[in-house]
Structure 1
Amino acid sequence: MYRTLVVYLTTAVLTALCLPAATATTANPTVPRKTLSAFANEQELAGLFKRWADEAQRRRDEQQRARADKSVGQLAQPSPAPAAAPVAVAKEAATGKNESVTNVQHAGVDEGGIVKVHGDHLVILRRGRLFTVRIGAQDLRPVAAIDAFGSDVDPGGAWYDEMLISGNTIVVIGYSYARGGTEVGVFDISRAGQLAYRATYHLRSNDYYSSRNYASRLIGSKLIVYSPHVLSPWGDPWAAFPAMRRWRPGALPADFRRIAPATRIYRSDEPLDPFAGVALHSVSICDLARPEMDCQSTAVLGSPGRVFYVSPNSVFVWTTAERGGASASSVFRIPLDGSAPSALKTAGSPIDQFSFHEDDGGVLNVLLRANGRGDGMWAGEVNAGDLALLRIPLASFSDGRDSAPAQAYRRLPRANGYVLQSRYIGPYLLYGAGTGWHSPQTTTQSQVYAVRYAQGEVYELPLPHSVDRVEALGSNALVVGSSGRDLHLSSVRLTPLPVTAGRYTRKDAAQGETRSHGFFYKSESEFDGLLGLPIVGGDESGARQLRTPSAALLFLRNHALTLSELGTLTAQPSASDRNDGCRASCVDWYGNSRPLFVRGRIFALMGYEIVEGKVDARRIVETRRVNFAPAVLQVTR
């Protein structure tokens, strides 16, 4: 196929991404020279909030005087203009014997999803309920169902989005607008697949929702939850502090217990303007091995725009504020071992969690755009601003006074399309742009860029389709996108000179899931594997996944980067699917269709259906299906 080498020199760094140089040397490539300082005590933190409150009162008084003067009428000397109103901050409306069925960013760092494996059972989270389906002993049989919230919890105004399993404990992560926080439901699962509700906990938080990212991660038995808290000088900032309570009927705000004392609240020397927006970005770690869930938080003060990324060792929170049309930002590193966070001043903003990669050499790589405000809500679904790659040694992180040096940014070419997609695979960063949640468009010119991030070379690979998904095929890559009514999957060989190697085209089709978990690749050898992707009709938009399951699961075989179709397993929704008595999470924000490769078997999850297939004579054929809709299976409340 075609390949083009385009080299972008470091000296051509964008003005919006230029920062003063900073140097750092240390024997250990991952240990920062300095760390952030926490507040010394509660009194010091209270002093900061007192200054904010005093300034808020001063502004109120000034505005009241201005209104009073205006009501009297204009005098010879005009009255002073009222102080600027505060900028409105939008409400952010396992390891072990179990086989992973989640397309995660890092091996060993599980991500909250809608389907997991526990022993001989699939566990599925759908439309406010948990279901188990037995797959042991070649079975395929619904076993149990239960509401994803307690019997004493009103699910109105709540969303139940993500699920994780540790041992025999299931946690469901959601957000309650009625109760004002992240909701964690804890359930027990038996070897027989029976489900029992244990407890519900609340973590105070603003809405964590992202159209791409996931709020929770699991490493061993440690649940990691990110929560943003916007602090307002006009009200009580203490009411937004990280806190936890166990739910009970009649629970009160006073039941919340602080889980981030002042000595675990960190900040840099960056001036904070609460009238333009300040957020407390907290990372809570909860031990699921304990009968009673207990969480502890570490938090950093920063701008409200955010993207967070979890590596096997740390949580990185990138905060962003819009200043004069450009993004001023900082990146915080919160180690998972409980040691003090560190930070760097930066510029630009990542697109999403896939913009980050902590490599084995102790270097953080981040794909940045000059304009952006993080990935909260729908903020990641744009392609705006110039691009650059930041490479910074972890040892360069410090007490937040230093800036990433200008030479750490390397300018990158902009991609054609509406929405950016990226993925780090081996020594490469691949990125391009496509239609995202929009309807597929006819593509006349597109490309995926392969950046050898350690060395800096940039390779442009022309494509006849958009870039709506970038995934790993072992040590190589797959690019998925559309052109008009046709779906294309292009394989990319990531040799020292990357090149497109093969292409499969499915007529009158588009991908049915935009989230990363919608795809899965099952490696069978160094050169071979099977992949699955939900599909819909060729004129359907990505937003269709919010309310309708995919029409089918498409399965392909990869042999040395030659892609061949095995066939599809199709959906046959029934009336019980539509009349499920949904009480919560009745829009599938996190999708509803997944390819599943478990213990040599192939399944297609589509809404309330699981279809099993078998590869026979180089084709996949349906062997059986089961419907686990709640109208068919009694739900325990």
Structure 2
Amino acid sequence: MSIARLLAVGLISSALVSCAVAEAQNSISRPRSEVGLYNFDDSESFEVFARRMQGLQREGRERGDGTIVVTGAMAESAAPPAPAPPPAAMAMEVSADASAPEQITNTQEAGVDEGAIVKDAGEYLVILRRGRIFTVRHGDSSLEPIDAANAFPPDAESPGDTWYDEMLVRGDQVIVVGYSYGDFGTEINRFRLGRDGSLTYRDTHYLRSGDYYSSSNYASRMIGDELIFYAPVYLNWSNWRSTMPALRRGGPDGEVVDLVDPNDIYVTERARRGKHVLPVAHAVTRCDLSVRELDCDATAVLGSWSRVFYVSPQAVYLWAGALDYSDEDNDGQLYRMPLDGSRPGAVPVNGSPIDQFSFTEDRQDNVLRVVLRGDDRGAGMWGSEFSSGDVGLLTVPLGAFTDGSEHLPRRALRELPSVDGWRFHNRFVGDYLLYAAASYGNEDEASFMYAAPVDGRPAQRLDLEHGVTRFDIMGADAVAIGPARDNALGFSSVSLGQSARVEDVYLLPRASEGEQRSQAFFYRPDPGSPGGLSGTLGLPVSRVRHGTGGEFLGNAAAIFFLRRDEREFAPAGQLVSREKSGVDDNCIASCVDWYGNARPIFLRDRIFALMGYEIVEGEMVNGGIREVRRARFNPPVRRASRED
């Protein structure tokens, strides 16, 4: 698709298609003083709208257009009962003598934590792997496995139906997030971390949702005491009450609580006319971790299947594709869903971002910037690995998010130099957008990148000695990483001042990336280094040739450390895994490392390498890393006891 098609200009108007639509539209409203999407006045107005959706769904089946209807246990269950009164709030206990935990996860946004496979919890590292949680004590210069427990409820009947993917830690709470194919949707299990490192099961909740999995993004975020989820909820309009966002407390017989009422459900100006079936409720759920009983509420926008989302400290941004690509007047929508629960807004769009790194919210300029390609599959499952078409940079003023009918002016979209290849990598670093593309397995043949200043100055092409499979941040600069010729792995340090410049290059012989997740990389600036010009980076590496696909599930043989002194690279060496492949760990659930299994960990003045069931501590001596000690924390494990 050409870049000219990415942005439509002008307003769209159309007649209402039926009396039922007119009736529904009149009861989908917003206060005159507010700007944003329309919500439903009451249950009766939503019923009218639902009947219109049912009619369109039937028409689609008669035409054989492939409209998908959710069936199975969720669709057949009875309507959820009215929610019970919430329990009295009780403050969570936090270990008073625990050291303050450190952020060891390479997150996209400062202050927005992401679900991960390892977290610091003061005196302990907490690790999630293959359906189990492990604690390893690191306080007082120790490295000692303490406890292990299954990541699922003690009475779980079919834990193998669930993938336990992400974990967050807040105070003494360990929160494990999984997706259950055999149950209600997103599973949230909470454990209490004792002062002695023990794990005690607390409770389980389920969010009704579709599969949140993405090869690049993460389903959960945490800001302070607030746990945040984005998930698509696939609607069956014939029985919509049983497929709307809801929370279930406990197992199959647990209480089901609606998370949205009609006032929490939003549509665009065009969608409220009822011309197209809206198959998905895109739900942002916020849960308060400061009270004993998990207390959640949600906001939902009704839209299309395609989705790419990004979480800033202020809002969740969701890019959804067009509902009907055969309709020239039917655009996609970019939604802004504020985290304070206020009214969402939207703006019509075309094209698609690639993944969460295609977005950045600039609070200084009060805009959202998004890099686009002409054709993309969204970020669900493996969609972010495939894209094509021209490249553009869209700048959206935050005030432009209204009812989804007001198109941006053409000047909002800036055309950028095109790149060939369906595997596209992008990252905003400082005042620059960095991007590159190639075909999978042949990235070393596309040894260049573009650095586009966001202020409108021309994009620069930077020639490299390697291809690009990762961009990340090193202080005020950037690093480009990717395969080079002769099976080497290349690292390029890129400064981003008035112009972009490759400052130094290092090629690691006979190596490839062992992990492709953003959290697999970490750069720690040296204390007192201006702009982080000096520091150490860590990255899982493999001796398997790039292009075999192993990096998507984790195949690291070591964590490689690279020193940077005043922008000049010097290899610091590796901490190597001694794990033997094929050893039976009696895995019960989540027996594939979808989020990888290796991470570099910089914790205060110490350095660790997590690789499978091993954690190795290293020490930097004269610019080189040497092993100090290692610990294995592999099973057997016990089922966590219930909290009294």
Describe the shift of the 1:313–1:59 C-alpha distance in structure 2 as closer, same or farther (beyond 3 A).
closer
Alignment partner, residue 85 of structure 1? 65
**Deviation at 1:578?**
2.2
Alignment partner, residue 600 of structure 1? 605
Corresponding letter in the other structure for 1:268: T
Alignment partner, residue 260 of structure 2? 260
SS at match of 2:406: strand
**Deviation at 1:454?**
2.3
**Deviation at 1:224?**
0.3
SS at match of 1:407: helix
- Residue 166 (str. 1) matches residue 170 (str. 2): yes
Query: Using the alignment, how far apart are the partners of 1:628 and 1:635 within structure 2?
Result: 16
Describe the shift of the 1:559–1:380 C-alpha distance in structure 2 as closer, same or farther (beyond 3 A).
same
Query: Using the alignment, how far apart are the partners of 1:615 and 1:59 within structure 2?
Result: 64
Pairing of 1:135-534 with structure 2 (within 5 A): 135-153=138-156, 154-233=158-237, 235-248=238-251, 250-251=252-253, 255-271=255-271, 278-321=279-322, 323-324=325-326, 328-359=331-362, 360-434=364-438, 438=440, 440-441=441-442, 443-484=444-485, 485-524=487-526, 525-526=529-530, 527-534=533-540
User: How many residues matched?
Assistant: 585
Residue number among 614, 617, 636 corresponding to 2:622 in the alignment: 617
Describe the shift of the 1:260–1:488 C-alpha distance in structure 2 as closer, same or farther (beyond 3 A).
same
Q: Do 1:266 and 1:301's aligned partners in 2 also have CA atoms closer than 8 Å?
A: yes
Corresponding letter in the other structure for 2:445: T
Q: Do 2:484 and 2:507's aligned partners in 1 also have CA atoms closer than 8 Å?
A: no
Corresponding letter in the other structure for 1:142: P
Alignment partner, residue 108 of structure 1? 111
Describe the shift of the 1:372–1:444 C-alpha distance in structure 2 as closer, same or farther (beyond 3 A).
closer
- Residue 552 (str. 1) matches residue 558 (str. 2): yes
SS at match of 2:589: coil
Corresponding letter in the other structure for 1:625: R
Q: Do 1:511 and 1:542's aligned partners in 2 also have CA atoms closer than 8 Å?
A: no
**Deviation at 1:88?**
4.5
Q: Do 2:119 and 2:169's aligned partners in 1 also have CA atoms closer than 8 Å?
A: yes
TM-score (normalizing by structure 1): 0.87
Describe the shift of the 1:356–1:547 C-alpha distance in structure 2 as closer, same or farther (beyond 3 A).
closer
Deviations 1:48-67 (A, max 9, x none): 1112223444666xx5xxxx
- Name the % identity: 41
Alignment partner, residue 28 of structure 1? none
Describe the shift of the 1:55–1:355 C-alpha distance in structure 2 as closer, same or farther (beyond 3 A).
closer
Alignment partner, residue 70 of structure 1? none
Q: Do 1:147 and 1:635's aligned partners in 2 also have CA atoms closer than 8 Å?
A: yes
Q: Do 2:2 and 2:389's aligned partners in 1 also have CA atoms closer than 8 Å?
A: no
Describe the shift of the 1:541–1:256 C-alpha distance in structure 2 as closer, same or farther (beyond 3 A).
farther
Query: Using the alignment, how far apart are the partners of 1:602 and 1:611 within structure 2?
Result: 9
Describe the shift of the 1:325–1:457 C-alpha distance in structure 2 as closer, same or farther (beyond 3 A).
farther
Q: Do 1:345 and 1:403's aligned partners in 2 also have CA atoms closer than 8 Å?
A: yes
Query: Using the alignment, how far apart are the partners of 2:405 and 2:387 within structure 1?
Result: 30
Corresponding letter in the other structure for 2:558: A
Describe the shift of the 1:85–1:325 C-alpha distance in structure 2 as closer, same or farther (beyond 3 A).
closer
Provide the alpha-carbon RMSD of the alignment.
2.5
Describe the shift of the 1:274–1:288 C-alpha distance in structure 2 as closer, same or farther (beyond 3 A).
farther
**Deviation at 1:287?**
0.3
Corresponding letter in the other structure for 1:432: A
Residue number among 2, 5, 24 corresponding to 1:16 in the alignment: 5
SS at match of 1:395: helix
Deviations 1:412-441 (A, max 9, x none): 122244411111111111111245xx5x43
**Deviation at 1:84?**
3.7
Describe the shift of the 1:170–1:434 C-alpha distance in structure 2 as closer, same or farther (beyond 3 A).
farther
Ranges in structure 2 where 5+ consecutive residues have no aligned partner: 12-32, 72-93
Query: Using the alignment, how far apart are the partners of 1:227 and 1:542 within structure 2?
Result: 30
Higher relative CO (Cα under 8 Å, sequence separation at least 6) belongs to 1
Query: Using the alignment, how far apart are the partners of 1:56 and 1:107 within structure 2?
Result: 43
Query: Using the alignment, how far apart are the partners of 1:590 and 1:90 within structure 2?
Result: 27
Deviations 1:531-583 (A, max 9, x none): 000000151446314555410000011112211100000000147x8221111
Residue number among 507, 515, 537 corresponding to 2:543 in the alignment: 537
**Deviation at 1:244?**
0.3
Q: Do 2:515 and 2:554's aligned partners in 1 also have CA atoms closer than 8 Å?
A: no
Q: Do 1:434 and 1:481's aligned partners in 2 also have CA atoms closer than 8 Å?
A: no
Describe the shift of the 1:513–1:52 C-alpha distance in structure 2 as closer, same or farther (beyond 3 A).
same
Describe the shift of the 1:571–1:503 C-alpha distance in structure 2 as closer, same or farther (beyond 3 A).
same
Describe the shift of the 1:378–1:87 C-alpha distance in structure 2 as closer, same or farther (beyond 3 A).
same
- Residue 99 (str. 1) matches residue 102 (str. 2): yes
Describe the shift of the 1:341–1:119 C-alpha distance in structure 2 as closer, same or farther (beyond 3 A).
same
Query: Using the alignment, how far apart are the partners of 1:182 and 1:323 within structure 2?
Result: 30
Corresponding letter in the other structure for 1:613: G
Q: Do 1:231 and 1:274's aligned partners in 2 also have CA atoms closer than 8 Å?
A: no
Q: Do 1:514 and 1:542's aligned partners in 2 also have CA atoms closer than 8 Å?
A: no
Deviations 1:158-213 (A, max 9, x none): 00100011111111111000003100011111222111110010000000110000
Describe the shift of the 1:270–1:373 C-alpha distance in structure 2 as closer, same or farther (beyond 3 A).
farther
Corresponding letter in the other structure for 2:264: R
Ranges in structure 1 where 5+ consecutive residues have no aligned partner: 1-11, 23-31, 64-82
Q: Do 2:177 and 2:189's aligned partners in 1 also have CA atoms closer than 8 Å?
A: yes
SS at match of 1:443: helix
* Range moving further from structure 2, 137-146 or 41-50: 41-50
Deviations 1:271-315 (A, max 9, x none): 377976621100000001111101100000111100111111111
Q: Do 1:445 and 1:462's aligned partners in 2 also have CA atoms closer than 8 Å?
A: no
Q: Do 1:420 and 1:433's aligned partners in 2 also have CA atoms closer than 8 Å?
A: yes
SS at match of 2:48: helix
Query: Using the alignment, how far apart are the partners of 2:438 and 2:512 within structure 1?
Result: 12
Describe the shift of the 1:392–1:55 C-alpha distance in structure 2 as closer, same or farther (beyond 3 A).
closer
SS at match of 1:237: helix
Query: Using the alignment, how far apart are the partners of 1:36 and 1:269 within structure 2?
Result: 7
